[in-house]
Amino acid sequence: MKASVVCMLFASLLLIVLVRDNEGHRLNKNQDVEAIQRKYFNKYDENKDGYVSLHEFRITGSIDGFGEHIDFLFGVLDKDGDNKLNFEEFKEFAPTTEKEAK
């Protein structure tokens, strides 16, 4: 084999390794991360109005194990103080991988 073919094969294999995690799953690209975060947001947005209220956050957050810190966390995330989280505010809290979202 010519050296250029070997280099191309090596580069292809390296690219495959770089875009996979150690379990063989594709690593997230920016659009994948946002899709995961949107899915997690929708889990919390029980009434599907496009916002997560404190009540919704308490219910789902307690199921996810956030316990006594739920109100404090909500207050930190609610940047505009309107007592609800829009997707942009929620993204600071949302996981970035499917594994974290479970």
Structural domain that includes position 88: 28-101
The dihedral formed by the CA atoms of 48, 52, 42 and 95, expressed in degrees to the nearest 10: 170
Residue 100 is predicted with a pLDDT of 66
Residue 83 covered by a domain: yes
Distances (CA, A) of 41 to 57, 61, 70: 10, 11, 15
Residue 18 covered by a domain: no
Residue 20 covered by a domain: no
Residue 87 covered by a domain: yes
Residue 65 pLDDT > 60, yes or no?
Answer: yes
For 1-59, how does the pLDDT look when each residue is reduced to its tens digit (9 = 90+)? Answer: 454 433 343 333 333 333 444 455 555 466 788 999 999 899 999 999 999 999 999 99
Cα(66)–Cα(22) distance, integer angstroms:
28
Residue 90 is predicted with a pLDDT of 94
For 78-95, how does the pLDDT look when each residue is reduced to its tens digit (9 = 90+)? Answer: 999 999 999 999 999 888
Overall number of domains in the chain:
1
